[in-house]
Amino acid sequence: MTDDAPRLVLDTCAGNIVIAVHASAAPTTVRYVRTLVETRCFDGATFYRSTNFGIRGRLPLIQGGPLAPLFTASSNAIPALEMLDVVESTTSSGLAHVRGTVSLARDLVSTGHVLPELFICLDAHPELDAGGRTEPDSLGFPAFGSVSSGLDVVASIAAMETDGASPVERLAGEILTEPVVIRRAEFTSRPPESSI
């Protein structure tokens, strides 16, 4: 990726996270993300989850987006948002879930569709790649970018207390006590100066 290629900037209350997007590797996923950003889907959303899936010694990933009310004890209205029915697997994109990888979550309960939920890896998570799991299928999760600056911000979010309540039992111990607000998400052609 060249220095003038577009980047996705997440302005959070913990600092900026700058993501280099890989449009040539994952064009469908990046178009979907661009639509979400342009419709202000992530503005005011939160990073609310930190998990290493219970694997000792592995660094966690953080997850966030507008669907936090589904997974936390929030009483806010759950937004009706467009899902993506095409899953660009890591086999097709060539992007693996390694440190700094940015990917999208999926509806694992019913449709298998891609959700407007970001997650960022602080370690290798090969089980999220194609073939790493079999539920709801073996496609894994659609990686689309990598953190070009602000990985320290991701690490600081991941290290926050996770005593938050959740109606989803399997997320116990993974919900941030104080979710981190994404004040604004926008694409830019220039790497911005870090706010930290």
- Residues 7-188: name the CATH superfamily: Cyclophilin-like (2.40.100.10)
Q: Can you tell me the distance from the alpha carbon of 147 to that of 164, in angstroms, rounded to the nearest whole number?
A: 26
Q: Can you tell me the distance from the alpha carbon of 110 to that of 94, in angstroms, rounded to the nearest whole number?
A: 26
Phi and psi at residue 152, to the nearest 5°: -65, -35
Residue spans of the chain under pLDDT 50:
1-2, 192, 194-196
Cis previous bond, 136, omega within 30:
yes
Closest CA to 143 of 130, 158, 156: 130
Q: What is the pLDDT of residue 77?
A: 62
Phi-psi group of 182: left, alpha or beta (phi > 0 → left; psi -120 to 50 → alpha; rest → beta)? beta
Q: What is the pLDDT of residue 121?
A: 98
Q: What is the pLDDT of residue 194?
A: 44
What's the pLDDT tens digit per position in 108-131?
A: 888 999 999 999 999 999 999 999
User: What are the domain boundaries of the chain?
Assistant: 7-188
Q: What is the pLDDT of residue 6?
A: 79
Residue type, 99: R
Q: What is the pLDDT of residue 1?
A: 42
User: Which helix (H) or strand (E) segment is 164 a member of?
Assistant: none
Q: Can you tell me the distance from the alpha carbon of 28 to that of 179, in angstroms, rounded to the nearest whole number?
A: 29
**What is the four-CA torsion angle of 51, 68, 161, 104, rounded to 10 degrees?**
30
